[in-house]
Amino acid sequence: MEIPKRIFLARLPTPIQKLNSVSRRLGKEIYLWRDDLTGFMDSGNKLRKLEFLLADALQKNCDWIITCGGPQSNHTRATAVVARQLGLDVSILTLPKPGYDQDQTATGNLMFNQIFATHQVWLSYEEFQKRGSTYDFFLNAEADRVRALGRKPYIIPLGGSNVLGCFGYANAVNEMVNTWRELVSGSNAPDHLFCALGSAGTYVGLQMGLEEQRLTTELHGINVIGPMPIPVQYVSNLRQSVLETYGIEPHTQQSQMIDGYVGAGYSIASDEDLKFYINLARTEGVMLDPCYTGKAFQGMVTEVEKNPSAYGKRILFLHSGGGFGNFAYAEQYQQVLKRLST
Ligand SMILES: Cc1ncc(COP(=O)(O)O)c(C=O)c1O
């Protein structure tokens, strides 16, 4: 397999750290793969995908990046930051949920989207549904608008999760394993690897990388995005594209999607969820995010507690970033913190 061209953006290798308190609680060695530290303003897992996507954009002489996501999308914000550092313009198509107040003070990723983007467009949810509930129509319309300005657009799909984006994590596995072997003496690789499963580029990329390195590590993608047909569809579409483009089969025997941790819905966190993140922050000095890593981490802990014998001795959790997303929950955090202090 020929590896596509890449530009170097992320601060690599990212460290792996042992979580002592969680390890004690679960009776296992639990490690955190600190991909929240890839840089570019907490751009997390997105940066690894963008190294391949933006290499492609530059190779094609594109000068205007177009991408999409929800108001607190880490992906759109990371894309905007990176695009600006490369001297490119960037359009962000933002899809609010029904009832979202677009006039509220922008915070977290949305605030940065507005700062970094050349053009930020709010999509209508009804229109989105009319267009088959995919972003394709809107991305293409924006590309037409940009072309009419005499510029050359490059479209990056939701979450940066296309075949090129997958190479970010396919490539990262080798790096992770080298770091692991230096840290955990006598161990070839983690027994299990957990990650959040959203638009699926991270999960499918990890599958590709684990397979290529012939590792026995079992991969678990915790669904955080919505009802189970959604991630299953994302993974199968992406696998199909990988197969068609590169003729490789990314699916490993040892990978599975785990459901049951979306809670009340995508990007909705309960007070109990926030308490969990606060507790982790206070015991490990690590902040998760309420949308992706928080739910996935809770999923990992619950799964291991339910069935400890199924999870070997050493488990690695991918911290894929998302820290700015916490600011969108500031009021809820305040309420929970007040109750905790009384
Ligand atoms: C912080 C964070 N973690 C995990 C994910 C999930 O990654 P993917 O979309 O590749 O499944 C995302 C994005 O969707 C994210 O922003």
The CATH number linked to 245 is: 3.40.50.1100
- 120/110 Cα distance (integer angstroms): 10
Q: What is the pLDDT of residue 92?
A: 98
Residue listed under structure tokens 């977290």: 108
Asked if omega into 153 is within 30° of 0 (cis), the reply is: no
Residue 102 counted as domain residue: yes
200 lines ligand 1 (CB under 6 A): yes
Q: How far is the CA of 176 from the CAs of 23, 106, 129, 315, in angstroms?
A: 20, 36, 40, 13
Query: Both tokens of residue 320?
Result: 């894929």
Q: How far apart are the first and last CA of the chain?
A: 59
Residue 79 counted as domain residue: yes
CA 64 and chain centroid, separation: 23
Residues in the chain, pLDDT under 50 = none
Q: What is the pLDDT of residue 3?
A: 83
223 lines ligand 1 (CB under 6 A): no
Element (H, E) at 126: helix 125-130
- 224/325 Cα distance (integer angstroms): 14
Same domain for 260 and 192? yes
- The residue type found at 303 is E
Same domain for 241 and 177? yes
Of 160, 188, 210, the residue that ends a domain is: 160
Same domain for 333 and 304? yes
Same domain for 173 and 104? no
Same domain for 284 and 210? yes
pLDDT 10s digits, 228-239: 999 999 999 999
Same domain for 264 and 116? no
Query: Both tokens of residue 336?
Result: 């929970």
- What's 13's DSSP letter? S
Total tally of structural domains belonging to the chain: 2
Residue 302 counted as domain residue: yes
Atom of ligand 1 nearest to the CA of 195: 4
Give the long-range contacts of residues 275-283, CB within 8 A, separation 24 or more.
275/336, 275/340, 277/326, 278/333, 278/336, 278/337, 278/340, 280/22, 283/21, 283/22
Active-site annotation holds for 73: yes
Residue whose CA is closest, atom 16 of ligand 1?
74
Of 107, 141, 160, the residue that ends a domain is: 160
Residue 9 counted as domain residue: no
Q: What is the pLDDT of residue 253?
A: 67
Contact 284, 36 (CB under 8 A): no
Residue 81 backbone dihedrals phi, psi, to 5 degrees: -65, -50
329 lines ligand 1 (CB under 6 A): no
Residue 194 counted as domain residue: yes
Q: Quote the ligand 1 centre to 341 CA distance (angstroms).
A: 32
Residue 7 counted as domain residue: no
Q: Quote the ligand 1 centre to 13 CA distance (angstroms).
A: 19
Q: What is the pLDDT of residue 309?
A: 98
**H-assigned helices in 184-292:** 201-212, 229-246, 271-284
Same domain for 237 and 92? no
Same domain for 54 and 31? no
Same domain for 203 and 275? yes
Residue listed under structure tokens 């550092």: 85
Same domain for 69 and 34? no
Residue 285 counted as domain residue: yes
Could you list the residue range(s) of the whole structural domain that residue 97 is in?
45-160
- 267/270 Cα distance (integer angstroms): 10
Query: Both tokens of residue 232?
Result: 């299953």
Q: How far is the CA of 166 from the CAs of 199, 241, 244, in angstroms?
A: 11, 10, 14
Element (H, E) at 18: strand 16-18
Same domain for 63 and 171? no
Q: Quote the ligand 1 centre to 95 CA distance (angstroms).
A: 17
Sign of CA dihedral 156, 138, 321, 184: negative
With b for 16 or more beta-carbon neighbours within 10 A and e for fewer, the 283-314 pattern comes to ebebbbbbbbbbbbbbbbbebbeeeeeebbeb
Of 127, 160, 193, the residue that ends a domain is: 160
Probe ligand 1: pick from 40, 43, 45, 288, max atoms within 8 Å of CB?
45
How many residues are there in the chain? 342
Atom of ligand 1 nearest to the CA of 231: 11
pLDDT 10s digits, 158-176: 999 999 999 999 999 999 9
- The residue type found at 123 is L
Same domain for 252 and 324? yes
Residue 219 counted as domain residue: yes
